Amino acid sequence: MKSFFLSMVAAAAAGKVAAQVTGEAFGFAAGTTGGGDAEPQVPSSNEELVEWLTDSQPRTIMIDRLFDFLETGGSTDGTCCRDEKSYQCKDSSRHGQVYIGDDCGDMQKISCTYWNAPTRPIYVASNKSIVGVGESGVIRGKGFRMSHDVSNVIFQNIHITELNPEYIWGGDAISLGHR
């Protein structure tokens, strides 16, 4: 009975991570292998996910549920800037976006409240595959950033959501560049 139970647990775990990177990169991304032959792993917490994304070990990370970071950094009651020219559109149902910042120049300063976590991305290290399992791979309130020295990263089938969408500079899902 014990071996049957262990077999069932192993089979269930294998099913969860079976959905690895699919397809082959072409064009500019040709030859990208991400985590390569690394054993697929499912993180058990936000902390473990961040640890795996930022370490130097090649990894295939399976995102099998919602990882919610939105409220982890608290919120800020701060200053945002609004350009009245773009904000006052002829169609009254539409408005331009405001942006988070203190130096508004000729624009109007307004009070705003935003979540901090989306403004602080996870810095992903090289040689990672981040793969959503089915429709369950969701990251809420945190984006990813790859600095200029990072390479060989694959994102596939991930839904990244709630990055202060009402604000410019509120957070990006995936960004590339310097630290």
Give the domain range for residue 139: 17-72+116-177
Residues of the chain with pLDDT under 70: 1-19, 85-95, 179
The pTM assigned to this predicted structure is 0.80
Within this chain, do residues 53 and 21 fall inside the same structural domain, yes or no? yes
Same domain, 109 and 155: no
Look at residue 91 in the predicted model and tell me its pLDDT: 61
The whole-number pLDDT of residue 155 equals 96
One domain, residues 107 and 120: no
25 and 95 belong to one structural domain: no
- In 18-129, which ranges are continuous DSSP H helix? 46-54, 84-87
The per-residue pLDDT for 97 is: 80
Please give the biggest Cα pair distance in the chain.
74
Q: What is the pLDDT of residue 156?
A: 95
Determine the Cα–Cα distance for residues 54 and 112; give it in Å rounded to an integer.
31
Structural domain includes residue 52: yes
Clarify whether residues 96 and 167 are in a common domain: no
Whether residues 87 and 161 fall in one domain: no
153 and 80 in a common domain: no
Exposed / middle / buried, residue 125 (Cβ in 10 Å: 0-12, 13-18, 19+)? buried
Domain end point (choices 89, 115, 141)? 115
**Per-residue model confidence (pLDDT) at position 94:** 56
Q: How many domains in the chain?
A: 2
The pLDDT of residue 53 is 98
Any domain includes 36: yes
pLDDT, residue 5, reads 35
